[in-house]
A and B are shown apart, each in its own frame.
Chain A
Amino acid sequence: MAQITFIDLNKDSITLEADSGSLMELAVQNNIEGIDGDCGGVCSCATCHVHVAESDMAKVGEASEIEQDMLELDDNANEFSRLCCQIQVSEDLDGVTLTVAGE
């Protein structure tokens, strides 16, 4: 079981628990504002963009090349950007905070 905190578009902080699936699925199931997950998690739509808290970057890890290529063209991308459909829930992610990237 991992506790994950999302900070949504309204700056509300929502902490959720999960033990499987992707972070995008977790966010969509819990109606986190700003995470749409249009493509269902195949890295095609970029509607699951989050900024990982700097201190959590090591836990979450870096984007793959394909994911980086998607993020490169996102105007809100920075060095902490990830597409959260590409992050699988695991114990290691316990305590991580993700901020939904704005439009």
Chain B
Amino acid sequence: MGKSEIPDPFKHKRETTGLGHFNDQNDPVTMVLGLKDVRKCAHNWKTFQSGGEEVGRIVVPSEVAIRETRQIPFEVDPPEHKGYRDLLDPWFKRPLEPAYQEKIKAIIIGVIDEVIAKDSVEVVEEFSLKLQSRALTVLLNIPYEESEVWINWGKHVFRSEESDLDGEKAAILYDYIDTQLDKAAVNPGEDLYSVLLNSEVHGKKMSKEEAKGVMILTFAGGRDTIINAVTNSIAYFAEHPESLERLRNEPEITNNAVEELIRYFSPLTHMGRVATEDTQVCEHALEANSRISLCWASANRDERVFETPNEVVLDRKVNPHVAFGFGTHNCMGATHARQIMNILIGCLTEKVSSMSILSQEDNIEDWQEFQRKVGYDSLHVKFIGK
């Protein structure tokens, strides 16, 4: 296996039953694997809901035991969902503004300059986490220095070395957000906390609990996903210098390359839903109140849709991937994520002549039937500047 390869462990099941099964804390999850089935279930929010009474249950592994705050708009169904999205979407589209992109570019050039000077760089902590944290200050519109706090939290805000779910670790984030919201309530500014607390949704002022739900999601949804997308990109370009060279010569394919890398990496493997009625998926009966998951990572390798699905085709033109989800809950951070990837590629072609992988430890998710590499626990790389 190539060092930067992300294999597809779902192929056999996708091609046979179309489903996988994951026993999650005695609350089993039927994993939907094919692209068309994933899209259909994502579209059908009435039968496969995100809202529901039990907060945290659509996350896999379930967070029912460690979280009470409802994540917004993620754990809300239509029609309420739309009220939140209409309010939040303009803020999360700010990455389309040139001034925003300039700030992200300065951040990325900054982290590249820091690593070029070194003999060996652990990319996850020293590159991706820094890049992600600093870029998040731009999304939240808060001072750059605040990123130091988040960088010091380390790689895992929700996971500890021992377990995927760690209530104590998650509490660090929840308490932090509480404090920031309290500060913004007393002393409002131009940041996302203040904007949320002063906004109206569904005809009344947004509550602190709602604002907290948005902020938790912004931190949680935008952390490991970006870190994996960035780290995996470094590994890929290190192993494929010809690809970096091609993007240097053909910058016009950068957008295609971003979409293709995101498809190939699928930084978020899957996300759950709860059935509201007895139903079926792929001819498999599902009882009301049982869980499914929409496996974006598997769908993105569906050979019925993608030619050479296990290859990175940098200029893939038709690429109907679901790495950012599909339909109602499609990723609200996608504009930010796409800009980061776009600008990262531009800056690498400008400033880096080559990279080499010195050592790596793959991060393999354990979904029982499936072992999926999603990124790296650590990746040591030497960057050579131009």
Contacts and interface: CB of A to CB of B under 8 A. Distances in A.
Interface of A: 38-45, 64, 66-67, 69-70, 73, 86
B101 interface: no
Given A42-B316, A45-B330, A64-B318, 4 more contacts: A42-B259, A44-B259, A66-B320, A69-B320
Interface string B32-58: 000010011001000000000000000
B359 interface: no
B255 A40 contact: yes
B317 interface: yes
Contacts of B259: 39-40, 42, 44
Contact of A69 (B36, B317, B330): B36
A43 B322 CA distance: 11
A42 B43 contact: no
Nearest to A70: B320
A42 B334 contact: no
A42 B305 contact: no
B319 to A, nearest CB: 4
Contacts of B256: 40, 42
Interface of B: 36, 39-40, 43, 255-256, 258-259, 305, 316-322, 324, 326-327, 330, 334-335, 338
A44 B319 contact: yes
Nearest to B334: A38
23 contacts: A38-B338, A40-B255, A42-B316, A42-B317, A42-B318, A42-B319, A42-B320, A42-B321, A43-B318, A43-B319, A43-B320, A44-B259, A44-B321, A64-B318, A66-B305, A66-B318, A66-B320, A67-B318, A69-B39, A73-B43, A73-B326, A73-B327, A86-B318
B358 to A, nearest CB: 34
A39 B322 CA distance: 11
B90 to A, nearest CB: 12
Contacts of A38: 334-335, 338
Nearest to B331: A38
Contacts of B330: 45
A71 B334 CA distance: 21
A66 B35 CA distance: 11
Nearest to B327: A73
B320 A41 contact: no
A73 B259 CA distance: 21
A39 B316 CA distance: 13
B386 to A, nearest CB: 27
